[in-house]
């Protein structure tokens, strides 16, 4: 491939003062053969940082890379803004998919809309060709899924139109259901694109240009690396609806029809786009890939440079000397207009350089949630082998240790960048026993998929510390300051994970989430009711992983005094200490973070049984501390407000069961 020319983006994103943003896609999508344009991951990053309640998406594009286009479609769909798509000239091929990401699709009266099958070139054995054809069919089916959600056509009609490479006028597009309305203003159809060179057969006469593209030998690709295998001759443009082919031509991907695009989108959104080819080639399902990405996040193996710099800072040999206590003192000096310096200030400045695009700094001091220490000892028998002791431990570890949900097995994902999306299968195929030569075919059932999206929300907490305490320089005082900060945030996690309403900026917790199982207790719970909760989760094949009960201290106390049955020798329902025991064979923890006043006019206590590994706590960037040395000055106290970007998500709602109507009397 020739050397890259200066970057030329195929899109532009701009925000306006009225909380509206404009996105223009006026080019071929993705990187072309001459290195111009940028990949979808750049688009996704810019879109994730866009704060707007309304987006106008304007399209004049012949299409481009299928997986780039699917990634863009998914990114636009999960953005919280209301999106209006305007087809100003042409929305062809994968650009027609992107156009449907809008809540409304408005088309100029003289614009064009085109759908067709994905295609590419390959060369090799008959088996190679068959496998390549199977891949193209799978990719086609992912596109049909998007069209089906918008239009009024049956799948068979959509596929027939794609087979025929169908160009539609605005009226025809609206009649088919792809377009919601036709605007009154014309916007001439662009003839800037070499439609013939892009491989189209039925393009408008004014766009006809003659161009040819040579095939490629699949066997010439490197088996161990992911690559695009459609290579044009000198001067050729990239074929439209280009498909990225996995070079292991001897192994056909075994993914479901919807999986390839879902996997590509997930990997792009989670900054591991380079792994998409590996996952697809291995034939992994989207659900399996989602879990692999979760594990990579939890293990800290995903490289997210900007967010990682904000949340984890390599302090080298000075890591053990970092003090949150001194950071607060420096913040006071900053607030009072004094000149500040020192190690903690240097770390604040370093984090400031790498904040995520969507983080609005509050003017306080930024502190790391994780401390990476690479310094080695300088004495002793193991010189050069032992890491320097970190006296206070990582702040993130303190959060995990204090949080009830984290101790129950909830996964904490750190160093995130942008919204994070995972698919979940919501329906499956059906199997039937049939005799020889049945008179009728069996009913077809297709897997259906949904998504779970986590996006950064701002958690704010306020506390106070005395000026006298801040001037003390002892490990005990430092540990106290860190523990207080960690506790207030960990308690907020727990509250949101159980009782988050999902309204405004509030995460959605177990009690408000749709799809969570429920069992009516009808007063004081009997042992059988806890078995019923277990059964509900078991019915959904979710009785796996980190199962356990979480409830209130009052309910724990009541169950410690309630027998499983009236039979002689019966055990107490809750066995063991009130803070951490066993109930119905599962680990059980009590916490005041679980509400005891759920009912109207009653003291209804919350009880949740779940596989807590399916509850995710996501964190973006670091922790920002805002100090107020004035409000409580007459009490000798400094008011501290902390900000953290985080969210709570349920990987599978079916993994949980909540109790309703549970009382102590």
Q: Which residues are catalytic?
A: 93, 116
pLDDT, position 660: 94
Q: Give the span between the Cα atoms of 70 and 532, in whole angstroms.
A: 42
Residue 480 has pLDDT above 50, yes or no: yes
Order of strands across the sheet with 607-611? 517-523, 656-662, 607-611, 547-551, 586-590, 580-583, 574-575
pLDDT, position 211: 29
Whether 401 and 345 have beta carbons less than 8 Å apart is answered as no
Task: Provide the CATH topology of domain 11-249.
Answer: 2-enoyl-CoA Hydratase; Chain A, domain 1 (3.90.226)
- The residue whose two tokens read 């590509």 is 264
Mean pLDDT of the chain: 75
Q: Where are the domains of the chain?
A: 11-249, 253-300, 521-617
| Of 624, 138, 560, 78, nearest in space to 351 by CA | 624
Q: What is the DSSP letter of 242?
A: B
What residues contact residue 528 under an 8 Å CB cut-off, 6+ apart? none
How do residues 39-90 score in pLDDT, each as one tens digit? 677 788 888 888 888 999 999 888 888 888 888 998 898 888 999 999 988 8
What residues contact residue 431 under an 8 Å CB cut-off, 6+ apart? none
Residue 100 has pLDDT above 90, yes or no: yes
Residue 241 has pLDDT above 50, yes or no: no
Q: Give the span between the Cα atoms of 63 and 72, in whole angstroms.
A: 12
Q: Give the span between the Cα atoms of 132 and 120, in whole angstroms.
A: 9
Q: What is the DSSP letter of 252?
A: -
pLDDT, position 314: 56
| Of 660, 531, 525, nearest in space to 604 by CA | 660
**Position 208 confidence tier, pLDDT thresholds 50, 70, 90:** very low
Task: Please list the alpha-helical segments (H only) found in 411-552.
Answer: 467-470, 475-499, 527-539
Residue 301 has pLDDT above 70, yes or no: no
How do residues 308-348 score in pLDDT, each as one tens digit? 434 445 565 566 678 888 888 888 888 888 888 888 888 88
Q: What percent of the chain has pLDDT over 90?
A: 20
**Position 214 confidence tier, pLDDT thresholds 50, 70, 90:** very low
Q: Is the pTM of this model over 0.75?
A: no
Residue 596 has pLDDT above 70, yes or no: yes
Sign of the C-alpha dihedral computed for residues 362, 365, 370 and 372 taken in this order: positive
pLDDT, position 661: 94
Report helix, strand or coil for 648: strand
Measure Cα distances from 153 to 5, 88, 115, 347 in Å.
Answer: 43, 24, 13, 58
Residues comprising the chain, all counted? 665
Whether 230 and 239 have beta carbons less than 8 Å apart is answered as yes
Q: Which of 22-26, 156-160, 611-615 has the highest mean pLDDT?
A: 611-615
**Helix/strand/coil (H, E, C) string of 372-392?**
ECCCECCCCCCCCCCECCCCC
Sign of the C-alpha dihedral computed for residues 573, 575, 581 and 585 taken in this order: negative
Q: Which of 290-299, 388-397, 495-504, 567-576 has the highest mean pLDDT?
A: 567-576
């Amino acid at each position: 491939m020739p050397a890259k020319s200066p970057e030329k983006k195929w899109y532009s994103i701009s925000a306006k003062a009225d909380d509206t943003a404009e996105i223009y896609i006026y080019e071929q999508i993705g990187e072309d053969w001459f290195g111009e344009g940028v990949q979808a991951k750049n688009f996704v990053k810019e879109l994730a940082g866009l704060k707007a309640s309304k987006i106008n998406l304007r399209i004049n594009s012949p299409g481009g890379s299928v997986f780039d286009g699917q990634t863009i479609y998914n990114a636009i769909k999960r953005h919280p803004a209301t999106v209006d798509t305007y087809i100003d000239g042409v929305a062809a091929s994968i650009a027609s998919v992107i156009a449907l990401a809008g809540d409304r699709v408005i088309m100029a009266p003289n614009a064009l809309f085109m759908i067709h099958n994905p295609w590419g070139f390959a060369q090799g054995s008959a088996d190679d060709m068959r496998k390549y054809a199977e891949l193209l069919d799978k990719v086609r089916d992912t596109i049909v899924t998007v069209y089906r959600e918008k239009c009024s056509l049956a799948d068979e009609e959509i596929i027939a139109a794609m087979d025929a490479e169908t160009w539609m006028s605005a009226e025809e597009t609206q009649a088919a259901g792809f377009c919601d309305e036709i605007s009154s203003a014309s916007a001439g159809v662009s003839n800037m694109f070499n439609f013939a060179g892009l491989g189209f057969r039925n393009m408008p006469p004014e766009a006809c240009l003659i161009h040819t593209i040579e095939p490629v030998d699949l066997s010439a690709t490197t088996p161990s690396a992911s690559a695009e295998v459609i290579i044009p001759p000198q001067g050729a443009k990239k074929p439209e609806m280009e498909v990225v082919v996995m070079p292991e031509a001897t192994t056909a991907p075994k993914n479901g029809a919807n999986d390839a695009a879902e996997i590509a989108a997930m990997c792009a959104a989670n900054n591991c786009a380079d792994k998409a080819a590996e996952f697809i080639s291995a034939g992994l399902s989207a659900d399996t890939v989602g879990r692999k990405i979760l594990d990579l996040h939890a293990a800290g193996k995903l490289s997210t440079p900007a967010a990682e710099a904000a949340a984890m800072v390599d302090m080298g040999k000075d890591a053990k000397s970092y003090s949150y206590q001194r950071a607060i003192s420096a913040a006071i000096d900053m607030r009072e207009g004094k000149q500040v310096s020192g190690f903690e200030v240097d770390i604040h400045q370093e984090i400031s350089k790498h904040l995520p695009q969507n983080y609005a700094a509050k003017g306080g001091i930024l502190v790391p949630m994780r401390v990476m220490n690479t310094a080695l000892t300088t004495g002793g028998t193991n010189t050069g082998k032992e890491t320097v002791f970190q006296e206070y431990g990582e702040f993130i570890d303190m959060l995990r240790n204090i949080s009830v949900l984290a101790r129950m097995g909830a996964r904490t994902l750190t160093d995130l960048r942008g919204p994070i999306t995972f698919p979940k299968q919501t329906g499956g195929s059906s199997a039937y026993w049939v005799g020889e030569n049945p008179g009728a075919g069996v009913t077809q059932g297709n897997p259906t998929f949904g998504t779970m999206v986590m996006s950064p929300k701002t958690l704010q907490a306020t506390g106070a510390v005395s000026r006298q305490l801040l001037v003390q320089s002892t490990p005990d005082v430092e540990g106290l300051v860190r523990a207080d900060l960690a506790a207030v945030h960990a308690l907020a996690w727990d509250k949101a994970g159980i009782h988050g309403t999902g309204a405004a900026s509030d995460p959605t917790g177990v009690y408000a989430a749709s799809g969570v199982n429920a069992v009516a207790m009808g007063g004081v719970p009997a042992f059988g009711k806890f078995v019923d909760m277990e059964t509900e989760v078991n019915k959904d094949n979710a009785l796996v992983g980190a199962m356990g009960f979480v409830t209130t201290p009052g309910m724990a106390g009541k169950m410690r005094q309630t027998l499983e049955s009236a039979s002689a020798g019966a055990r107490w329902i809750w066995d063991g200490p009130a803070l951490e025991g066993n109930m119905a064979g599962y680990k059980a923890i009590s916490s005041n973070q679980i509400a005891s006043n759920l009912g109207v006019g009653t003291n209804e206590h919350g009880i949740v049984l779940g596989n807590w590994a399916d509850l995710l706590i996501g964190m973006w960037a670091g922790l920002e501390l805002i100090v107020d040395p004035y409000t409580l000055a007459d009490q000798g106290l400094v008011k501290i407000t902390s900000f953290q970007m985080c969210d709570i998500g349920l990987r599978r709602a079916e993994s949980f069961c909540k109790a309703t109507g549970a009382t102590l009397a």
